[in-house]
Amino acid sequence: MLERMSYPRECFLGKRRQSRIKALAKYFHRKRGLAERPRQLRRRLDASTEESSCTAEEASGCRLVDGMLALAMTISKAQTDLRAEPRLARTATASQTGVFLLDASRHTPDSCWVILYGRVYDVTDFLPSHPGGSKIILQLAGRDATEDYDPIHPRGTLESALPASANLGPIDEATIVKPAVATAAVQPNADAADAPLDTLLNLTDFEYAARSKLSEKAWAYYFSGADDLRSKELNQTAYTQILFRPRVFVDVTRCDLSTSLLGIPAASPLYVAPAAMARLGHPSGERGIAIACGRKGILQVVSNNASMTVEEIVDSPVTPAQAWGFQLYVQDQRDKSLAMLRRVEATGRYKFVVLTLDAPVPGKRELDERAKNAGNLTLTSSVGTGTGAVATGGLGKALFVGTAADLTWKDTLPWLRAATKLPIILKGVQTWEDAKLASEHAGVVGVVVSNHGGRGLDTAPPAVYTLLEMRRYCPQVFQKIEVWVDGGIKRGTDVVKGIGRAALFGLSVGGSEGVERVIDILHEEMATCIRLLGARSISELGMHYINARALDPLLWRPEDDILAYRATAKL
């Protein structure tokens, strides 16, 4: 056991790690005759493994900060260069707070520790490169961050992001200091009343129920849209402007919703669109959605930013024929995207790749940003706040760090065709011109007409507008490739092909069974709608059953560009 010692206040209360090291160097030189330089002290700090006990009193200002006390005792006891794996020094007295005096005010970007899964990690060097920016971690400095970290990170993320030396060892959970700042903003509301699933009659009911169950941060991420939410709202209201033209004297005793998507048999034309971080809503996460989709016979497209690994989600399919698609965000470091595609193909369960194009950069989602900024600590440091692109962003913006913004028709599609053998769908088509171009490129088997759920460019057209543009200016696209839709689906009467947030709300309310209930509601409404139209199957539906004239004045026309052409000519 090392001797009990007490050191001057300035050795532990310096604003920066470097200043504390210098203070210790002066102390040892003056009192102990040791000529340790700050660089040598820093190396010893990084290598120290000695456990220690001390007498630390508030009055004297002696604090357990950055493992400095362990360093001081190690140097005073022996001048040995220890090379074992570093771990934090424990205190001997019950009055101490375990491994650290977990005081968030003492943690800065120059010295930061967090607890994850019962172990202490030194994340100081990782702060500047954290995809979400350093502030997200600094808010949790000196605390147990497991409940914040776990729902939004797939297994293996920790090991791939931090070196083994960052793992400083286990901590006695009984000694962990409770957070000084309430974490209700990031924790699900477990006390919210569980409404019986059979009492939820439509997707709006699920949305309200999910609002009472989700944490503030999860709700903000799921619900948020860009800027003034115009596109998000139009995604829903555009469907209400299309009227039906029902036929009569048709035997509608039976109704068949079954179809196929890319040749894959499906119980209906519905699919679950990619939506990130499902475990924010429920512990079963994307796997829970997969189970519901398997039981109901519909497709799921897995998000590139899922909270579970691509292997976990498709493990143990409900039926041998169950299939998935994978959404790809191409990374600046193409090797990362190639590695992910190899993992996707290795499962044998993913049957196509959905290349996302409608969000080369993140939109401004103010609700998400407000939830993220709530409770931010005021911190200063010599290293700043990490990546500038996400300095004030929320969860949504953090997910875009590292995403490539240099995708082109000329370069990206040939690269992707060479990178994977899977069929390619382009997600994010918002004009007839791009739909036509997509249909002319080899390897592209379909497009998803989408404005990113109204979360990218605000006032971008809802999918219905783009579909009508395509019908008018390039109808041949519908014969050459498959055309899917996502965004704004709230009713079976919409009779469209994509649901995303609805599945997340169902998952949040009732896990896998909640998602099943959402799918059942849409199937029931679709069947009722088709029969009341005077049709008997999906294959009978067509433009002759709808009246979309109310939207006609809102559609783009070639003459709208005349002024632009004239301005260009004058220049």
Active-site amino acid positions: 329, 358, 452
Residue 509 contacts by C-beta under 8 Å, 6 or more apart in sequence?
194, 195, 197, 200, 206, 209, 210, 213
Look at the block and give the residue holding tokens 């965004």: 487
Instruction: Please give the Cα distance from 46 to 124 (Å, whole number).
Output: 12
Rounded (5°) CA angle 414-420-426: 65
Alpha helices (runs of H) in 307-424, residue ranges in sequence order: 310-314, 334-347, 366-373, 395-398, 412-419
Per-residue tokens: 499? 């649901």
- Extract the tokens encoding 562: 């005349």
Q: Where are the alpha helices (DSSP H) in 229-333?
A: 230-240, 285-296, 310-314
Closest CA to 223 of 502, 492, 512, 517: 502
Using DSSP bridges, classify how beta strands 259-261 and 264-266 pair: parallel, antiparallel or unpaired: antiparallel
| Matching residue, tokens 């193909």 | 345
Contacts of 185 (CB under 8 A, 6+ apart): 215, 216, 217, 371, 374, 375
Backbone angles phi, psi at 503, to 5 degrees: -65, -40
Count of beta carbons in the 10 Å neighbourhood of residue 112? 25
What's the farthest any 2 CA atoms get from each other in the chain? Answer: 104
Q: CA of 82: how far to CAs of 50, 63, 71, 87, in Å?
A: 9, 23, 11, 12
Among candidates 98, 96, 106, 123, which has minimal Cα distance to 9? 106
Q: Which two tokens stand for residue 416?
A: 């992707």
Dig out the tokens for 128 from the structure.
Answer: 């500047």
CA distances from 342 to 25, 146, 345, 399, 436 (A): 51, 30, 5, 21, 30
Rounded-to-integer distance, Cα 568 and Cα 571, Å: 5
Pairing outcome for strands 482-485 and 444-449: parallel
